[in-house]
A and B are shown apart, each in its own frame.
Chain A
Amino acid sequence: MQGQYIKFGKNLVTTEEFLAEGHTFCTGCGEALALRLACKALGRNVIIANATGCTEVCTSPLPVTSWRVPWIHTLFENTAATISGIEAGLKILMKKGTIPERDIKCVAVAGDGGTSDIGIQALSGALERNHDFLYLCFDNEAYMNTGIQRSSATPYGASTTTAPAGKLSIGQTTWKKNLPEIAVAHNIPYVATACPSYPFDLMNKVKKGGDIKGPAYVHIFSPCPTGWRHDTDLAIEIGRLAVETGIFPLYEVENGRYKLNVDRPKLKPVEEYLKTQGRFRHLLDEEIERIQEHVNEEYAKLKAKVAHSTT
């Protein structure tokens, strides 16, 4: 192995930073941390295509850049298509001998809005066409870059600027769209969920997703102090609570087989998670109860898939 590494228990992590200091993410941003870890896992032989959103705007204001790896941004809605062209272009140029044969990981980076709403068509197309790429969705559960508007990944009951809680509304009235399951439905070799509160798990999954031939999708839960209205020192704790309550389970689906990466004997009550954030502050007990029931149900479904995969 080349380069310098730091040891964390049995894990080695490179000291190299591919996402440079001096970016403009908010203090305590979970997305920034997740992106930095993902870049460490990928190393320098990558090309990144980034959708519009916090990950793009906070890293690339001309004339400076935070990117130490080749990086391209084109639009908000088309990142999966842009990376399709990059991947196909590299492949044919290598095949024709125009550029030397080598392993370059093609990685798409987008937010939950760029993935689950405006970019879902391009994503579905790219997954279905079997391009050899890794798609990283940084899910902060709303359009944060434009000012905390709801997306289809915003959770039930959260207050956002376009689905605000008010006298007649609890805020978001729909259940969060299950993007990892949509990716799984494309029968791709690798789908995983991750969270920067579990940094080694995240890095392992990103690395695996990058190494696997064919499309891989990693959905990364990214606490956002600004949009979720939580203290700036809480992103790690909130990420952990999301996993421990079953709100955001950590799992992998490799060639259709499900595996839970963190499985606690007993889930914590969702209330412990909800009460950490201003976006849920207005919720009454009965709504919290509904959310609890929904989480129980979804978690049970997931466990059934895991059980089915091991038989």
Chain B
Amino acid sequence: MSKRIGLEASHAAAEAARMADVDVIAAYPITPQTHIPERLAEMVANGELNAAYIPVESEHSAMSTCVGAAAVGARTFTATAGPGLEYMHNVLYVASAMRLPVIMTVANRALSAPLSIWGDHSDAMSVRDTGWIQVFCQNSQEAFDMTLWAFRVGEDAGVLLPVMVHFDGFHLTHVTEPVILPEQEEVDKFLPKFHYPFALDPDKPMTLGAYAPPDIYSEAKIAQEVALRKSKDVVIKGFEEFKNIFGRCYHAVEPYGMQEAKTLLLTMGSFSETAKVVIDERTNRGESIGLINLRLWRPFPFKELRQAVKGAETLIVFDRCISFGGPGGPVHSEIKSALYNMPRRPKVVSFVGGLGGRDVSMKDFEHVIDRGREIAENGSKGLYETVGIRGKVTDIRG
């Protein structure tokens, strides 16, 4: 029998790592991620989890240690946030290119300067090209579910790629919610033992991470690119298996509200839940409106997204990150390019807000929807508009 208990999202993720019976955890503390490694360290100290907990001296070493552990075939887990993710940036590429399925939860946090310990998606966006699978969570249950799912997908023999599970710093990491925890047998049914086919072993000497001259590098990188794109099949299969065993159903792209709605709002992470309340109120009033919760960020779910927006006239994308000097919010610009070649496509409008922990309220989403429709109809002087910024923001022009 599964049980339903109150759990902080951070502890839910730690619980998932415990039930996955991880072998090695290497982590460095950074707010708002701290509750995850603390909880895991406690589990190891109490004998609830038979793992090596390595209190490394930096995030760079956290990821490097995970890479080393994964290379000998250990199931490996870490967690970080914002500046910590940036600090391990160099190693992120190594983990994915060397096909080492390290699992990492990222408590999304803003980047300095000014220093901010609070949440936004700048960290997640800055690592979107590192070759990791990336998913976003809306609540504590998902923090558990997606972390468990990440092991299943990343370690799949046909995938062997690292996975980042994103959940919003403070807005989620520090929120206690009811979470359904499964039985260990169910977890074991879902998640087979990790078998790494290229483990370093004196009986089968292998050279890993050799350098590539120009006549090899391109092929190596294209092979990696194909592997990441192909992983989507297992991503989807993983969601299906998850549903069959645990009953909860996830998708790469999750439409909410009215079917075939004329106006669609698109969000990622915990703010999707706030937006859903607004969508509910408006659909109750008979408005043709819906929400898209974008769960899978990498590999980008092109097909599913195109399918989900094909009937819409307006697609309003809400980003929690600035792409400085760029075409608008990073999620928005990827979505625009994903839809560009469709014969019929919605107008795509970009809003940026919720930076460095700034709340985005229901009122803000009301504004985003109303103003977004206006922009879709009459255009805007700027490339994107901001949400909840004090003072007058002069148009952000291209």
Contact = CB atoms under 8 A, between A and B. Distances in A.
Nearest to B55: A129
B56 A74 contact: no
A125 B26 CA distance: 12
| Most central of A47, A78, A80, A87 by chain B CB within 10 Å | A78
**Chain A: interface residue count, which band?**
35 or more
Contacts of B76: 85, 89
Interface in A111-167: 121-122, 124-126, 128-129
A125 B66 CA distance: 15
A31 interface: no
A302 interface: no
A191 B51 CA distance: 30
Contacts of A73: 208-211
B23 interface: yes
Interface string A40-71: 00001111010000001100111101011111
Contact of A122 (B61, B90, B202, B220): B61
A216 interface: no
- Is the interface on chain B under 10, 10 to 19, 20 to 34, or 35 or more residues? 35 or more
Interface stretch (A6-14, A96-104, A221-229, A273-281): A96-104
A92 B205 contact: no
Contact of A60 (B74, B94, B211): B211
Contact of B68 (A62, A89, A128): A89
A252 interface: no
A6 B220 CA distance: 42
Contacts of B55: 129
Interface string A18-48: 0000000000000000000000000011110
A70 B68 contact: no
B20 to A, nearest CB: 13
Interface in B198-244: 200-202, 204-213, 216, 220
B72 A47 contact: yes
A129 B73 CA distance: 21
A300 interface: no
A70 B201 contact: yes
A84 B65 contact: yes
B64 A88 contact: no
Contacts of A49: 68
A72 B26 CA distance: 19
A13 B207 CA distance: 25
A306 interface: no
A77 interface: yes
A71 B208 CA distance: 6
A81 B208 contact: no
Contacts of A128: 57
Contact of B74 (A67, A75, A81, A92): A92
A82 interface: yes
A267 interface: no
Contacts of A290: none
Interface of B: 23-24, 26, 50-52, 54-58, 60-62, 64-74, 76, 90-91, 94, 98, 193, 200-202, 204-213, 216, 220
Given A80-B61, A93-B73, 12 more contacts: A47-B72, A61-B211, A78-B64, A81-B68, A84-B26, A86-B72, A87-B68, A89-B73, A121-B60, A125-B58, A126-B61, A129-B54
15 contacts: A44-B205, A61-B211, A62-B212, A63-B216, A69-B202, A77-B60, A78-B64, A84-B61, A85-B24, A86-B200, A88-B65, A92-B23, A98-B73, A122-B61, A128-B57
